[in-house]
Chains A and B, each alone.
Chain A
Amino acid sequence: MSKQAVDSVFQVLFLLTDIREILRETAPLHELDAEQKEKVNRTLANAEEQLRSIRKELVG
């Protein structure tokens, strides 16, 4: 069992949900202000880290 992979999958889903929330807040044009852009950037970086973790755990 890879608990790390499971945790990372949920982490990615939750992080993408945070981005979904920003899409909702900025609909329909999705023109993000500086703070929102920074948040998306930070969130994507975290998500990428979790994706790397999943790849390492499940694919090697």
Chain B
Amino acid sequence: MKCGPGLNTRDIDETSINIDPIQVGGRLTADAMKAVIAYGDGYSVCDNCRKPNRLDMISSPPIDQFHKDLAAFVHMDEARVVPGARRGFQAVTGTYVRKDDPVLLTALSHYTEFLAVEIQGGIPLEIPKDPHNIITAAAAEEKIDAIRREYGEPPRLLLLDHFDYQYGNEHDVRGIIRAAHRNDVPVLYNGAYTVGIMEVDGRELGADFIVGSGHKSMAAPAPSGVLAVTKERAAEVFRTTRAQADVTKRTFGIKEVEMMGCTLMGVTLIGMMA
């Protein structure tokens, strides 16, 4: 059956038992499918954008409240929707990482975390895994010490996966975050496989940034995700534009630089909300 010229209808979830755990986490609810039907048009959300003209401030549909709900959901202070977890990583590296900065990842980090460091010109450095393919707090502490010795400063940032994509192993995020904070290293908790699947309490974990994936784990269309931060970090990551055009003298209001103004417009956001 075709849903358009050359496009087969995707009916795998209607005709089969989908046992891929990642795909199941992204499968839409009936309400989300209805929302996709109603909000498929490109400007479906932008219709309702009123001054001060920013996605997270639209009140009808209640996108503003959804952002508050998202922050509360992961026990953080502020949240924004992003086009996939990777864009959440990029917003954080874009804020904190500069050329030749050492940045800490792990031997089991997702490749998009490496790309988020690379795009800033940072140097990705891995915490080694143990023989059981686990990242431990002791290994994190040791690597931070080694980086401090080699670079004369601690890493600018640690990007840490709660469950890794290679083995699906759970790592000691609490212990590793404590080790990082003892060394003044802010931590991005990558919850692409946890936020939406299990309780994630960013405050209790001590994370500075929480990233989740809408299409992997929150029953939302792709690409979608969330970036949530503490209030201490919000003004930095969600800083607003200061640009002024030289000829026209235009300025751009309260658009957020790392969000490129607005992020999920239309069906992805409404599908995620539903």
Contacts and interface: CB of A to CB of B under 8 A. Distances in A.
Interface of A: 10, 13-14, 17-18, 20-21, 23-24, 27-28
Contact of A20 (B14, B16, B17, B38): B14
A27 B33 contact: no
Nearest to B29: A21
Given A17-B30, A18-B30, A21-B30, A27 B17 contact: yes
B16 A27 contact: yes
A14 B13 contact: no
Contacts of A23: 14
Given A18-B30, A20-B30, A21-B30, A13 B37 contact: yes
Classify the secondary structure of A's interface with B: helix
Given A14-B34, A21-B30, A24-B13, 15 more contacts: A10-B37, A10-B38, A13-B37, A17-B33, A17-B34, A17-B37, A18-B30, A20-B14, A20-B30, A24-B27, A27-B13, A27-B17, A28-B15, A28-B16, A28-B17
A27 B30 contact: no
Nearest to B11: A23
The 8 closest A-B pairs by CB, nearest first: A21-B30, A23-B14, A14-B34, A17-B33, A24-B13, A13-B37, A17-B34, A28-B16
Nearest to B30: A21
A47 to B, nearest CB: 14
Contacts of B38: 10
Contacts of B15: 27-28
Interface centre among B13, B30, B37, B38, by most chain A C-beta atoms within 10 angstroms, is B30
Interface centre among A13, A18, A24, A28, by most chain B C-beta atoms within 10 angstroms, is A24
Nearest to A28: B16
Interface in B21-44: 27, 29-30, 33-34, 37-38
Interface string B110-146: 0000000000000000000000000000000000000
Contacts of A18: 30
B46 to A, nearest CB: 20
A19 to B, nearest CB: 10
A20 B30 CA distance: 8
A27 B37 contact: no
B47 to A, nearest CB: 16
Contacts of A14: 34, 37
13 contacts: A10-B37, A13-B34, A14-B34, A14-B37, A18-B30, A20-B14, A21-B33, A23-B14, A24-B14, A27-B15, A27-B17, A28-B15, A28-B16
Contacts of A28: 15-17
A14 to B, nearest CB: 5
Contacts of B30: 17-18, 20-21
